[in-house]
Amino acid sequence: MKPTSLIDSASGWPEPILGSDKLSHEIFSFLESRFLFGPGETLTLDCGGGGGGRGRGRVRILSIDGGGGGGELAAAALARLEARLRELSGNPSARIVDFFDLAAGSGAGAVLAAALFTRGGLSAADAAAALALVRSDDDHRHADAELDLREEIARGGGRALDRVFGERRCGTRPNLAVPCYDAATGAPYVFSRADAVEGDAYDFFVRDVCAAAYGSAAAAVSVDGATRVLPAASATAMASPAAAAVTHVLHNKQEFPFVAGVGDLLVVSIGNGGGGSGGGAAASEAAEELLRIAGATQADMALGFAFGESRSASYVRIQGDGVTAGRTAEAMLAERSVESVLFRGRRMTETTNGERLDWAAGQLAKEEERRRRSKTPTVLIKPAAAAVTPRTSSSASSEITVSTVSGASSASL
């Protein structure tokens, strides 16, 4: 059955009632500020022209959802984005990591983000290969590799993650933020480099962080054993990492001192396929995957609303339409993109997912060129704080490295 109640044409909505919409905007601006920033905070969602208009540039965030078939759509989207960035920059060896300041991911998206940002800045193709390697140990047992990998990791396995990431730590690599739900505290927990450089009590092995993003039954233990995070048995609570990444940047004034609001951000959020899973999946697994996709959609709606008037210029969401199952990732990129709107469900836009990626690549390339010409830094890379906790990591430094040119942040680490 065609879900006409969920997806309408771009022109299918009635004319809004301005008074009602204004009241709704005022109410939910207040609610969204609590959703993104927590109670008691006074941060303002500046929906003005963004940092580019003030000459300070924009902080670039890449967010990759988990679920939806094991990351095929994300891998294809990243490949297209990287190819376009290479074309626009004139650099045939340019990588995704050169054009983003922070990557966030959950599930398979966490593996892709970690591969892109922690393994020396892999190309999109190599990151997809790393994800395939993580999944390869179980492909012969299940048709749905994503669900099967989650089962293995939930049992405390994850040998493939060891093979891919080895002994790499969060604190020795470029900015990475991976949210999970900590069952011990009953609250979300975000693994990040910004925290990791404060001391070994907040630094974790990347392999354990990726396992936590899948909801591993085993606790993630910091490198010094002082901190333990017990991921929830299901990772549905953190299906979409984009909100966590935005919150991380808005609160991290040491590394992102010029970000006053969402208008100073450029977020590229890659969703899941949105279609049904394989017919062989158990009912409980299918229900969990449905909750994961629904959670990501709700987070996308809320985050898009929080961006307000800056949404079209600052927030790019790539998402399957959720109608036709069994499509290839390339076919989903050729589909018209889907936009989630709070309380109005989802609607088709006039552009395809691939065209939205091309537009995002253009914005990323412009920001990179602006940084090359600017003497004012946009991002300050926080060094490892040796004074806080003695460290043996080679990433320890006594200086703040300014990221103003392509790849500066990764080169300094």
Please state the domain extents for the chain.
43-371
Where in the sequence numbering do the catalytic residues fall? 106
DSSP, collapsed to helix, strand or coil, labels residue 40 as: coil
pLDDT reported for residue 101 = 95
Question: What integer pLDDT is reported at residue 25 of this predicted model?
Answer: 54
407: left (phi over 0), alpha (psi -120 to 50) or beta: left
Whether 296 contacts 74, CB under 8 Å:
no
* CA 128/CA 150 separation, integer angstroms: 17
Residues 346-378 pLDDT 10s: 677 788 999 999 999 999 999 999 999 998 889
Percent of the chain with pLDDT over 90: 23
Q: Which runs of consecutive H residues, i.e. helices, occur in 38-144?
A: 72-89, 108-118, 124-136
In the numeric block, which tokens belong to residue 298?
């709700």
pLDDT for 79-109, tens place per residue? 999 999 999 999 999 999 999 999 999 888 8
Q: What is the mean pLDDT of residues 112-137?
A: 77
**Residue reference for tokens 């396995």:** 157
Are the C-beta atoms of residues 69 and 273 closer than 8 Å to each other?
yes
Show the tokens assigned to 81.
Answer: 């984005």
Mean pLDDT, residues 307-323: 78
Give the pLDDT score at 259: 92
Q: What is the pLDDT of residues 148-168, one digit of tens each?
A: 445 555 444 467 788 788 888
- CATH for 43-371, among 3.40.50.300, 3.10.110.10, 3.40.640.10, 3.40.1090.10? 3.40.1090.10
* Residue 366 confidence (pLDDT): 95
pTM: 0.74
pLDDT over 60 at 204, yes or no: yes
Rounded to 5°, angle at Cα 363 from 296 and 239 = 10
